[in-house]
Structure 1
Amino acid sequence: MSDTDRLCFDTTKIDKLQELRERGVTLYPYTFERKDTVTGIKERFSGIGHDKSEEEVSTAGRVYVVRQHGKTIFADMGDSDGRLQLYLRKNDLGEEQFDLFRQYVDAGDIIGVVGHVFRTKMGEITIWVDRFELLTKSVCPLPEKFHGLKNVETRYRQRYLDLIMNEESRETFRTRSRIISLLRQFLFEREYLEFETPTLQPIYGGANARPFTTHHNALDQKLYLRIAPELYLKRLVVGGFDRVFEIAKNFRNEDIDTNHNPEFSMVEIYEAYRDYNDMMDLTEEIFSYLAETIHGKPVCSFAGQELDFTRPWRRLSMEEAVREYAGIDINAMSLEELRAFGLERCVEGCESATTRGEYLVLFFEHFGEKQLVQPTFVYDFPVENSPLAKKHRSKEGMTERFELFIAGMEMANGFSELNDPLDQKARLELQDAKRQRGDLEAQMVDYDFINALGYGMPPTGGVGIGIDRLVMLLTGKDSIKEVLLFPQMRTPVSGSNGSEPEQDGGEE
């Protein structure tokens, strides 16, 4: 199937379009003086009776339903705020205008109307239309009015159609916008500065992930889409900005599932003279504030469970988590015993693990992560998998790193940031050696970043929070595709109707 074959154009609608042109009707005009929104009209005329208002209203929106009754027509029109009923009479509009609406205005078209407001006998606030203007003639049919758009793949591939048809989807993305706005407000009030760092980077770093690569023709240089803004934000701390953050688009060449998309959003926050304990406190404050502001209380429902964000949250070390959920003391067993334990319980990756720290992480991920439903900080990670975190002040072989888990998902990752340039050089060179041996997720050595540390970075705490998963929690959506406007999708198979809207069900 060609791309042209996937177009949704309806021949009947195309014919109407041509007929309107032949009649001299101005199609696709440039503007309309919309003075009122649907919500504004409903609020202003909430006490209206059956008599028409003296005040005139002017609004515009998409037609969803047209119901013809001889010399009168009822229609439902909606804008981004909601829907409102229209009432049109032949005696008011005149025969030409009335017939124009009756013959050529369909569900999906966008119109502007001017009229007066009244309440019908059924109690519905309605605009008694004095005149209308066809602003946009749609040539693709909407899904049937009673069943809407329910096909999940079509909703993701054609989000514009999903937003037209489904108020729940519009509300999800209104909430997403509000969450990001509230997050900025929260940080601004605490005197953090927002910055923008490069998306195209000559050296990727800041996380263990496989990057996307590209090429700059003029420079004849290989570049990478950033996997994290971390190393650039830390350069800003070196430069003297004590509180910084960025709401960033990151890109990781990884699998796609209900919790992962190769393009995703996160906020990274850094504050000088703080450590990972302070960042755990800050993360608690952010989540609790957002939950309380969005829901009016510090709880929300997700995947059939009630999540409670009331502070303080549970905190346990990774070693404690493995003791609790795997039933073993990692420090009381030899490497051979740890390997045998992992193989017996089919722990992925344990056949290649060589250190106690590697086993600790594998056992936590296998036994512990999914058990952490209520907000829980897991802290003190082994140095092997934490190349950017400062070594623990009292635990040999560990770092001052934490991750936040809610509903079995990793929600945040934070450190007491490593600011020793010699230690950082050694750890990144170990990462690069792994990369040279074929570890596609290992980090490169960023010598300019190490130079920056060489000029001195104060003690610093940092945390990164996944915005998409945060929105999932606060909107009760169990798939990341539900909170991304345009999630990455596999190209439709030739011969399928992959991008075409499916019409679910028949007329009731």
Structure 2
Amino acid sequence: MTRQEYLSQIWKSYPAMPAHSKAAGRIYQIERDGESLKLILQRDQKTHKIQFEKAPPYSEFLIEGDLVAVVSSEEILLLAPQKRSLPRRQFDPELLKTWNVYVQGLRDFFTSQDFIELKTPSLVVCPGTEPSLDVFSTTLKVGSRTQKLYLPTSPELHLKKALALGAEKIFEIAPCYRNGEVTERHQPEFLMLEWYRAFDNLTSIKKDVENLVHTLTKLLKVPGPRSVKSYSIAELFKSYCDFDLRPDTTKEELKKLAEKLQVDVRSADSIDDFFFLIFMEKIESKLPPEDLIFVEKYPPYQAALARLTEDGWGDRFEVYWKGLELANAFHELNHPEIQRLRSAEDLEKKKDLHKEVVSLDEEFFECLEAGMPPSGGIALGVERLFMAMLGKERISDLRLFPL
């Protein structure tokens, strides 16, 4: 009799787990010696040795990879045969346990300070207007009505609506989606932690970041940052590029700087491109990885959704540690007319970059026009911070099912 004949004629296909069994798991190794049989079963990342002086009936048809239950010294129940190889994925329970402790630690940090956790939609009319981002879209169908919806690149717009509606200290750990991003540090789906403080500014948000990193490194028993440093963009351009960056520095000036520094800017078109390429090559890659670094006061064309300071800089900061950009914070813009103008500029930039031009969320502007309080807000990559703390190089290492 062959194994295939046994499976089709004798085996009771896919039985339930027996009420009483001595052991169960996937066969890792089979050793046969005359009438005796030794099985090494694998379960929960552990191995168990089972010895039979006399091999149970039909055990000759078992192979490595089968799932079995040892019912007695005379019976092995085949639960599920391995008919093909498993996908090349690795289940790491210890890493997942650490991840669960970490995510719970994030929640505990904010709830202990009386923040309220929100849940915003995963189907939205506007995913965000950031020019460089590609989006995922779908179509809602209700009877004869159809509407284009998107997966959010950030929960920001809905969290700001909540601020206008009366929320003051809020946070969310939200799944976010960005098309076209699969690298060692990017996945199309990832978790974003965003939190906001109404009637406040970036001073409190910066303290939150320091305290959060300290709390989580202590919780996971891993080394924290060597020190905490803050630099303005202008200071970094002076230190690393010997260039006096001003709020009104022109595209031509940045282009000349790139040529002087031998930065490849052949792909650059806008002033944002020149700024980004110089910053990436000459500054960001040189920041000391051991320090938690706040990079503050961006040029006005990099202000995004931030206010401008009195001296003309975008009032925002980014956070770096272990060579990773962890977070992006804003002294939030709450002026409806300026916000609408910037959103329109973003859509024009999207069009120029041949990106999908998305619709705007009119309810968001309705909330701004009704009055959103001055606020500090931040978006932090949940996987990114975990990677920094555990020294992981690839975001895919944290996932059981990465793309």
| TMscore range, shorter length | 0.7 to 0.9
**Amino acid corresponding to residue 115 of structure 2 in structure 1:** Y
Q: Within 5 Å, which residues of 2 pair with 1:310-389?
A: 313-331=228-246, 335=250, 336-344=252-260, 345-348=262-265, 352-354=269-271, 360-372=275-287, 373-374=289-290, 375-389=292-306
Matches of 2:233 and 2:257 in 1, distance apart? 18
Return 5+ residue gaps in structure 1 as ranges. 1-11, 35-56, 116-128, 143-157, 164-168, 300-307, 489-508
1:17 shift after superposition:
4.7
Alignment check: 8 A CA contact 1:28 1:135 kept: yes
**Amino acid corresponding to residue 389 of structure 1 in structure 2:** A
TM-score by length of structure 1 reads: 0.70
Please give the per-residue CA displacement for 1:297-353, whole angstroms capped at 9, x wherever unaligned: 4x1xxxxxxxx425x511111111111222222249964443212134224378534
Aligned residue in 2 for 1:79: 43
Secondary structure of the residue that 2:58 maps to in structure 1?
helix
Aligned residue in 2 for 1:285: 211
| Residues 32 and 183 (structure 1), Cα distance of their counterparts in 2 relative to 1, 3 Å cut | farther
**Amino acid corresponding to residue 99 of structure 2 in structure 1:** R
Aligned residue in 2 for 1:31: 17
Say whether residues 1:215 and 2:139 are aligned partners.
Answer: yes
Matches of 1:330 and 1:442 in 2, distance apart? 32
Say whether residues 1:265 and 2:191 are aligned partners.
Answer: yes
| Residues 480 and 366 (structure 1), Cα distance of their counterparts in 2 relative to 1, 3 Å cut | same
CA RMSD of aligned residues (A): 2.9
Aligned residue in 2 for 1:412: 327
Please give the per-residue CA displacement for 1:163-198, whole angstroms capped at 9, x wherever unaligned: 3xxxxx443334333322322232222222222212
Aligned residue in 2 for 1:113: 70
Aligned residue in 2 for 1:69: 33
**Amino acid corresponding to residue 264 of structure 1 in structure 2:** F
Matches of 1:472 and 1:270 in 2, distance apart? 24
Alignment check: 8 A CA contact 1:431 1:444 kept: no
Structure 2 counterpart of 1:99, from 36, 39, 57: 57
Matches of 1:419 and 1:176 in 2, distance apart? 35
Q: Within 5 Å, which residues of 2 pair with 1:1-20?
A: 16-20=3-7
1:230 shift after superposition:
0.5
Aligned residue in 2 for 1:134: 78
Alignment check: 8 A CA contact 1:68 1:74 kept: yes
Say whether residues 1:190 and 2:154 are aligned partners.
Answer: no
Matches of 2:332 and 2:266 in 1, distance apart? 28
Please give the per-residue CA displacement for 1:362-409, whole angstroms capped at 9, x wherever unaligned: 4322311111212211111122122211222x331x122111112322
Aligned residue in 2 for 1:402: 317
1:26 shift after superposition:
2.2
| Residues 332 and 293 (structure 1), Cα distance of their counterparts in 2 relative to 1, 3 Å cut | closer
Alignment check: 8 A CA contact 2:26 2:67 kept: yes
Aligned residue in 2 for 1:468: 383
Q: Within 5 Å, which residues of 2 pair with 1:495-506?
A: none
Secondary structure of the residue that 2:57 maps to in structure 1?
helix
Matches of 1:29 and 1:65 in 2, distance apart? 22
**Amino acid corresponding to residue 254 of structure 2 in structure 1:** L
Aligned residue in 1 for 2:154: 228
Matches of 2:358 and 2:17 in 1, distance apart? 52
Query: What is the aligned residue count?
Result: 396
Matches of 1:203 and 1:245 in 2, distance apart? 20
Matches of 2:338 and 2:129 in 1, distance apart? 16
| Residues 377 and 238 (structure 1), Cα distance of their counterparts in 2 relative to 1, 3 Å cut | same
Matches of 1:227 and 1:69 in 2, distance apart? 60
Structure 1 counterpart of 2:52, from 76, 85, 88: 88
Please give the per-residue CA displacement for 1:123-147, whole angstroms capped at 9, x wherever unaligned: xxxxxx57542222111247xxxxx
Aligned residue in 1 for 2:402: 487
Report the identity percentage: 27
Most deviating of 60-69 and 329-338: 329-338
TM-score by length of structure 2 reads: 0.87
Secondary structure of the residue that 1:180 maps to in structure 2?
helix
| Residues 358 and 443 (structure 1), Cα distance of their counterparts in 2 relative to 1, 3 Å cut | farther
